[in-house]
Amino acid sequence: MEFAPYDTLLVEQDGAALVVTVNRPDAMNALASTVVKDLLDLTGRLAGLGVDGNWPIRGIVLTGAGTKAFVAGADIREMNSMSPDAAEAYARQMHAVTTRLEALPVPVIAAVNGFALGGGCELALACDFIYAGVRASFGQPEVNLGLVPGFGGSVRLQQRVGLGHARELIYTGRRIDAAEALRIGLANALFDDTDALLAGAKATIQEIAAKAPTSVDNTKRALNRINGLPVAAGLEAEVESFRKAFATEDSVVGRRAFLAKETPEFPGR
Ligand code: CO8
């Protein structure tokens, strides 16, 4: 699939990974309305894609351009003159972007190479998981601006790190480094530099690319649906996704290949 050139995003395929780079390094890749428009367009296009072998992409790596920032948040210059109505529309647009990322049939890894603050941290949280470069820095600094998280941080940060850590980060606006992010479970892995970070994210996508595409899609949907549900409701949702797996060709191929001691070639159906 061809992606029209975007003003604020770089999109390139590398093996099984689609690498999406927010490209406004002079403004720390802040989420100006131009970036939000491009993210809406890109995620809208990706939303229609399946995993049935017609599309070679098996995962997405989301990162930021330059050496300093992943995304330093909402664009404070633009927010300076924003009315409550405009702020609501802005937040809803980013909710659409983050919800679409979560609904994609393939995993999205945030490769956080620098500042991931406010809306930047929230964008990373909408990804399936976060890898951090050694210079990564995370925070929800909205309290410094008289604001509150608006791009999903109130929901997803507590889901990721627990209510205690989420409260502390949001009330203090404190920035934490990559090691602390790893310690509290915000980041999954830590890499020495940006090259290693991107290589690590792509290697994980490549690893996932060898697995049954429908299993990954099915599990991603189930995990998102189950997140936060009481145990009984979660188990019901798991039964539904387990049952669905048995109706796929991938499951037939996978079980047959195991019993025949062969490597499965999954059709993605
Ligand atoms: N918005 C706009 N411009 C920014 C932003 C931003 N978030 N962050 C940095 N920039 C710009 C700076 O203004 C500066 O521009 P210029 O060169 O024209 O002066 C350039 O990027 C470089 O920044 P600095 O000179 O400040 O670089 P430093 O290395 O000294 O500092 C920091 C880097 C720490 C990232 C610092 O720039 C900073 O603190 N930025 C703001 C971070 C922040 O507060 N982010 C949260 C914003 S609020 C938010 O995201 C809420 C989301 C929900 C909103 C919901 C609906 C409206």
Q: Is the pLDDT of residue 197 over 80?
A: yes
- Ligand 1 contact, 72 CB (< 6 A): yes
Residue 262, C-beta contacts closer than 8 angstroms, at least 6 positions apart: 256
Q: Convert the pLDDT of each residue in 127-170 to its tens digit.
A: 999 999 999 999 999 999 999 999 999 999 999 999 999 999 99
Q: Is the pLDDT of residue 50 over 80?
A: no
Q: Convert the pLDDT of each residue in 86-132 to its tens digit.
A: 999 999 999 999 999 999 999 999 999 999 999 999 999 999 999 99
- Ligand 1 contact, 90 CB (< 6 A): yes
Distance 220 CA to ligand 1 centre (A): 32
- Ligand 1 contact, 142 CB (< 6 A): yes
- Ligand 1 contact, 152 CB (< 6 A): no
Active site annotation includes 122 = yes
At 237, the pLDDT band (50, 70, 90 cuts) reads very high
Q: Is the pLDDT of residue 29 over 70?
A: yes
Any idea where the domains of the chain sit in the sequence?
A: 9-209, 213-260
Question: Does CATH number 3.40.50.720 belong to domain 9-209?
Answer: no
Distance 170 CA to ligand 1 centre (A): 17
pLDDT given for residue 53 in this prediction = 67
Pairing of strands 189-191, 17-22: unpaired
Give the CATH number of domain 213-260. Answer: 1.10.12
Q: Which of 88, 122, 180, 207 is catalytic?
A: 122
- What value does the mean pLDDT of the chain take? 96
The proportion of the chain whose per-residue pLDDT surpasses 70, expressed as a percent, equals: 99
Q: Is the pLDDT of residue 54 over 90?
A: no
Active site annotation includes 180 = no
